[in-house]
Amino acid sequence: MSTSALGRYAFINAKLRSRIGSMLDDRQVEQMLQSQSLEELLNLCKGTPYEPLLDLYDQSADIQRLEAWLFSRSVGLHREVASFMSGTHADVVTAMTRKLEVENLKGMIRLWFSNTVKRQNIDYRYGYLFQKEIVSEIDWERIVNAPRYEDIVTALARTPYGEAAARFEGASLAQSGLFPLETALDRVWVSLLWSVVGNLPADDRKLVKQVLDRDADLKNIINLVRFGYLYDLSSDTLRTLMLEGGTVSSTKEFDSYLACPKEDRSPQALVARRFPDLAKQLQEAGAMTTERQTLLVERYLFAVRRKSFRAILRGYPFSFGVILAYFYLEDRQDALIRTMINGINYGYRAPEIREFAL
Amino acid sequence: MNVFTVPMKLLTAVVLDEATDAVKKTLLSLGVLDFIQVSHLAPDQAYRLTKSTEGEDPQLHAQLRTRVETLFQQAGRTVFPSEKLDPKNSQPLDITGAKARLDKIGSDLGTIREQQKQLSQAKIRVEELFRYVADQKTQYIDIRVGSFEKEGAQVVDSRLANIAHVFLEPQEWKDSILLTLKRDRQQVTPLVENLRWTENPDGKRHHEAMMMLKADLEKRLGELESANNEIKRKIVARIEEEIDALEDLWCDLRLRELLGEISRNFSHTRNTTIFSGWVPKSASANLERAIRDASGGACVIEWTDAEQMPREEVPVAVPDIPLLRPFQKLVDNYSVPEYGTINPTPFVAVSYLAMFALMFADAGQGLAILLLGLFGSRKKPAFVGTKRPMIGPDMYRLFIYLGASSILSGILFGSYFGLPLFPPVWFDYHGAVVGHDAMGRNVYSILGITIWFGIVVIGTGLLLNWINLVRKRDWFHLVMDKNGIIGGWLFGCGAWAAFAFVGSGYKTLPEGVFLPLAFGIPLLILFAKVPLHRSMARKAGHEVEPKSFASLVMDSVMEWIVDVLEIFSGFLANTLSFMRVAGLGIAHVSLMTAFMQMAELAGGFYAPLILVLGNVMVIALEGLSAGIQALRLNYYEFFTKYFTGRGLSYDPIALHPHAGRQIR
């Protein structure tokens, strides 16, 4: 490894690892899971990175505000990490930040859809969405207040999402719902990420490609099972859902999965070669409901993902891996906090929340 | 002053079952007994003993207490009423009643929180409208100026209740103003038409309406803020309403938890209760008297001296010396000393201050740190409910000591805010660094002083280790260990030879047979370390792995090589590590010199400004650096010589939470 990699990652590696070290440990999580009320949970956040949630709740008693804070924290962390890097490396982090931008954009368009197409009152809900710049200069107010879909397309014209948005029309979206548009936007950020990853130095490029390929495979399998097996989407629609990268969508199992009539699709056959353990588990599960099988597939693949990020963290420290692992862990921790907040607020007990969260 | 850990005694007591409750309360009131399980003392008798099976679930108490504490925290109280804990007032606890009370408060608070949530959502609505009005983003808002045929504000507001809007009826106008969002047009327009709205065609009124709306929205935001504050007051008031009952409940629950914890350490025969635990020798007589009183004399008490028990099982308490508390924290942060060994705190106090003083030798800057410490110590403790301050009272007290030590060393070296205002008592440190006349001293003299200082610190560490080993009767390590007498002797001889070598102008080592013998004999003795250790272990009755002669020789050679490397490279590195003291001191002088020169070059008004800023920077950065390096030297070069950190902390079950180990 060249010394430039050491120079590039020495600071960020130390900084991110120290943050990883101060993340919630198992004991804290267990204690939080046992909380009897939201106030108790938030009191336990004292001294953790989530301490501001306590004050926010005290000011508003509004858990949606807490979720909004978690999102803005995540945006802040991504932008901060990007500011620690330079050149292509910063571009890659910025491209990763686009995932959050797309999530926010989808949230805005959903609000617009509810208000304009479904004629529902969106009232204060806009206030929970992130309204500042994430990566591109997007006029969020213009999107949420757009009288027609075409105005959203115009608002996005100077952003990377303009082209994808322009492929749809308001009338067709009113018929089909937002799902096709949302998946198209997802593909935009993934494609943007792939385009900058190619500029990374060889070692980093290899590592990031591996992670992206694996993530694409996992996401594609989950989509194929969830939408092709659980919700019976057509083969053509499924094909458009596939994210760039990975190998799953170019296998013969994929082709035969799509070629099957909907009722004959088998998740077991789809994953048999790539994840024989999972196939075995599905076989052993036997007469499980479709929902349970889908859940089993998702859990298994999430566990695979978790394991691989742990391996990255244990590996060579001066690489882009530390950034990928850090974002993964932060994301997971945020999801855990979000689940606990909602679970405890709605009166769920520790075992149920644990099942959702871990 | 006792420089060793506090002497302990082991209590074993048997009381009649009927006195158990009274004894439990007494033990909790005294709070000096660090329990151990009786079955641990007599494992062969354990089958005759039964454990306490008192019914209440300790987790339930802890859960309820946490709920009460959460209520305290919501009311802004972070300190719980532990001073009210009194085992004598312990009453039977009505768990169902307690739960019901907490549920009722929780439900009331839930209702108030729901109102708060609605306020929060209303605020989001008003904020959005205000933003559009203030920024004149008319593309997103509809402003209607006109009148409804018959309906007033109340009806309009109720019809538009779920839609972001403002309806104004200015007193001086015949017309009304209605502000809504354009995106809500589909819902608003039919409502407005139903109420028969007539728009005023005078366009000028819209501008005035905009101003009025802005003022009104601003007012509404203020009102929402006040309403939210009122809600927060309501929450506090609801909790305060029952604060006495909650405090009592907290005390009852806490007492139950503590008494339950004591119960879990009790063992029982058919009619008696047996318990055992460690107590400081000084508190033993008082404890015995209290147990006898509580049990009405129906008890059997036995005492065992700590010396009769394995040292590693005796918990460690250290004497509380108020003046040395800041240094005690430094020791606590490292580890717990072994029972019966030297308490490192007084030694750390001396070495830490000396190291800091050598690295930060400036009377003026020391005075600044001292004043900061004095100022901080006079500050009242933070209000309940606020965050704990980053710098606590002990840290401020440490500043006072550090400031005083810097003043002393500053006077010795004649440095006052980097200026030689008075002649040095010892020598001119600044002069020695920058190459001016400094009574024949230069940078090398400073390095030499710190090396000597290091030798003294390491030597003291070795001496303390020997004292500890003698007290532990660990003769083997006293002689053969790298920090034992052989290690110390080699260190001393090495230091002597090194100084002689430097004294000869880096040319020759001391001549004659002394040096080869001084190194050779201990190294030869070290070779016997492995066989000696095996033989002593065998004599002590420990199992020793059988080995062939060749394998024993191999082990001895390997161990010898490792020991020799550790002794020579270890002591060399430890000693040279003290050169950082000189390094920091020299950096301190260099920085001050640089600021002086910058001030001279800048001149005029900027000169004093640069000097002040320079001093502030040096105090902050160098002060922090010297503090950290002094800590590092203590932890790695001094503690490693005598402080094993293998002690077990004394942790009695007591009413008031405290560190446990410091005994007054």
Which residues of chain A lie closer than 8 angstroms to B139, CB-CB? 145
Domain ranges of chain B: 8-52+264-316, 55-254, 345-642
| Distance from the B380 Cα atom to the nearest Cα atom in chain A, whole angstroms | 23
pLDDT at B56 over 70: no
Q: What is the pairing mode between strands B34-36 and B267-268?
A: unpaired
Tell me the C-alpha distance between A278 and A293, whole Å.
10
Task: List all residues of chain A from 60 to 99 with a beta carbon under 8 Å from chain B.
Answer: 60-62, 65
| Distance from the A25 Cα atom to the nearest Cα atom in chain B, whole angstroms | 20
Token output for B66: 């946490």
In this complex, the residue of A39, A121, A145 whose CB is nearest that of residue B163 is A121
Q: What is the mean pLDDT of residues A284-313?
A: 84
Interface test with A, best of B80, B118, B183, B386 (most A CBs within 10 A): B183
| Distance from the A20 Cα atom to the nearest Cα atom in chain B, whole angstroms | 22
The alpha carbon torsion through A343, A346, A350, A355 (nearest 10 deg) reads -50
pLDDT at B664 over 70: no
Confirm or reject contact between B120 and chain A (CB < 8 A).
Answer: yes
Confirm or reject contact between A237 and chain B (CB < 8 A).
Answer: no
Tell me the C-alpha distance between B460 and B468, whole Å.
12
Cβ atoms B577, B353 nearer than 8 A: no
Q: What is the mean pLDDT of residues B144-155?
A: 81
Q: What is the mean pLDDT of residues A291-313?
A: 87
Whether residue B182 and residue A145 make contact (CB cut-off 8 A), yes or no, is yes
Interface test with B, best of A31, A36, A48, A140 (most B CBs within 10 A): A36
Q: What is the mean pLDDT of residues B120-146?
A: 94
Confirm or reject contact between B122 and chain A (CB < 8 A).
Answer: yes
Identity of the amino acid at A274: R
Compare B424 and A231 and report the one with higher pLDDT.
B424
Interface test with B, best of A123, A154, A349 (most B CBs within 10 A): A123
How would CATH label the architecture of B8-52+264-316?
2-Layer Sandwich (3.30)
CA distances from B658 to A6, A75, A264, B31, B391 (A): 46, 42, 67, 11, 19
Whether residue B73 and residue A39 make contact (CB cut-off 8 A), yes or no, is yes
pLDDT at B196 over 60: yes
Confirm or reject contact between B159 and chain A (CB < 8 A).
Answer: no
Q: What is the mean pLDDT of residues B115-133?
A: 95
pLDDT single digits (tens) B319-339 = 988 899 999 999 999 999 999
Mean pLDDT is lowest, of A85-89, A123-127, B57-61, for: B57-61
- pLDDT-derived band at B383 (thresholds 50, 70, 90) equals very low
Q: What is the pairing mode between strands B176-181 and B197-199?
A: unpaired
Whether residue A40 and residue B67 make contact (CB cut-off 8 A), yes or no, is yes
Which residues of chain A lie closer than 8 angstroms to B181, CB-CB? 145
Buried b (16+ CB within 10 A) or exposed e, B307-334: eebebeebbbbbbebeebebbbbbbeeb
Which residues of chain B lie closer than 8 angstroms to A124, CB-CB? 121-122, 124-125, 128, 164
Nearest to B313 by CA among B641, B51, B35: B35
Specify the pLDDT at position A1. 45
Domain ranges of chain A: 12-61+320-358
Whether residue B228 and residue A59 make contact (CB cut-off 8 A), yes or no, is yes
| Distance from the A281 Cα atom to the nearest Cα atom in chain B, whole angstroms | 37
Whether residue A61 and residue B117 make contact (CB cut-off 8 A), yes or no, is yes
pLDDT at A121 over 80: yes
Identity of the amino acid at A348: Y
Task: List all residues of chain B from 129 to 148 with a beta carbon under 8 Å from chain A.
Answer: 137, 139-140
Nearest to B356 by CA among B402, B307, B407: B402
Whether residue A43 and residue B73 make contact (CB cut-off 8 A), yes or no, is yes
- The mean predicted confidence, pLDDT, of chain B is 90
Q: Is the dihedral angle over the CA atoms A315, A321, A327, A332 positive or is it negative?
A: negative
Non-local CB neighbours of B164 within 8 Å, separated by 6+ positions:
A123, A124, B125, B126, B128, B129, B180, B181, B184
| Distance from the B208 Cα atom to the nearest Cα atom in chain A, whole angstroms | 25
Confirm or reject contact between B199 and chain A (CB < 8 A).
Answer: no
Which residues of chain B lie closer than 8 angstroms to A147, CB-CB? 182-183
Interface test with A, best of B113, B114, B159 (most A CBs within 10 A): B113
Specify the pLDDT at position B474. 93
Q: What is the pairing mode between strands B267-268 and B272-280?
A: antiparallel
Cβ atoms B416, B368 nearer than 8 A: no
- pLDDT-derived band at B54 (thresholds 50, 70, 90) equals low
Cβ atoms A35, B104 nearer than 8 A: no
What are the two backbone dihedrals, phi and then psi, of residue B35, each rounded to the nearest 5 degrees? -70, 150
Contacts 24+ apart (CB under 8 A), A79-88: A79/A134, A81/A12, A81/A16, A81/A323, A81/A326, A81/A327, A84/A11, A84/A12, A84/A15, A85/A8, A85/A12, A85/A323, A88/A196, A88/A199, A88/A200, A88/A201
Cβ atoms B577, B454 nearer than 8 A: yes
Percent of chain B with pLDDT over 90: 71
Token output for A144: 């949420």
Whether residue A144 and residue B183 make contact (CB cut-off 8 A), yes or no, is yes
Specify the pLDDT at position B1. 64
B15: β partners? B273, B299
**Minimum CA–CA partner of B230 in chain A:** A59
Specify the pLDDT at position B468. 96
Grouping H, G, I as helix, E, B as strand and the rest as coil, residue A230 is helix
Local structure of residue B638 (DSSP, 8 states): I
Interface test with A, best of B124, B140, B159, B226 (most A CBs within 10 A): B124
Specify the pLDDT at position B43. 79
Nearest to B189 by CA among B163, B217, B209: B163
- The mean predicted confidence, pLDDT, of chain A is 90
Cβ atoms B139, A145 nearer than 8 A: yes
**Minimum CA–CA partner of A128 in chain B:** B124
Block residue for tokens 């085992």: B87
| Distance from the A24 Cα atom to the nearest Cα atom in chain B, whole angstroms | 20
Whether residue A126 and residue B128 make contact (CB cut-off 8 A), yes or no, is yes
pLDDT single digits (tens) A47-80 = 899 999 999 999 999 999 999 999 999 999 999 9
Q: What is the mean pLDDT of residues B547-572?
A: 93
Which residues of chain B lie closer than 8 angstroms to A40, CB-CB? 66-67, 70
Which residues of chain B lie closer than 8 angstroms to A126, CB-CB? 124, 128
Specify the pLDDT at position B437. 66
Tell me the C-alpha distance between B403 and B623, whole Å.
10
Which residues of chain B lie closer than 8 angstroms to A145, CB-CB? 139-140, 181-183
- pLDDT-derived band at B380 (thresholds 50, 70, 90) equals low
Whether residue A61 and residue B184 make contact (CB cut-off 8 A), yes or no, is no
pLDDT single digits (tens) A167-223 = 999 999 999 899 999 999 999 999 999 999 999 999 999 999 999 999 998 888 888
Which residues of chain B lie closer than 8 angstroms to A122, CB-CB? 183
In this complex, the residue of A40, A58, A60 whose CB is nearest that of residue B117 is A60
Q: Give the CATH fold of the A12-61+320-358 domain.
A: Topoisomerase I; Chain A, domain 4 (1.10.132)
Confirm or reject contact between A119 and chain B (CB < 8 A).
Answer: yes
Whether residue B66 and residue A40 make contact (CB cut-off 8 A), yes or no, is yes
Which residues of chain A lie closer than 8 angstroms to B69, CB-CB? 43
CB-based burial label for B420 (10 Å; 0-12, 13-18, 19+): middle
Q: Is the dihedral angle over the CA atoms B226, B232, B238, B241 positive or is it negative?
A: negative
Token output for B496: 């002597």
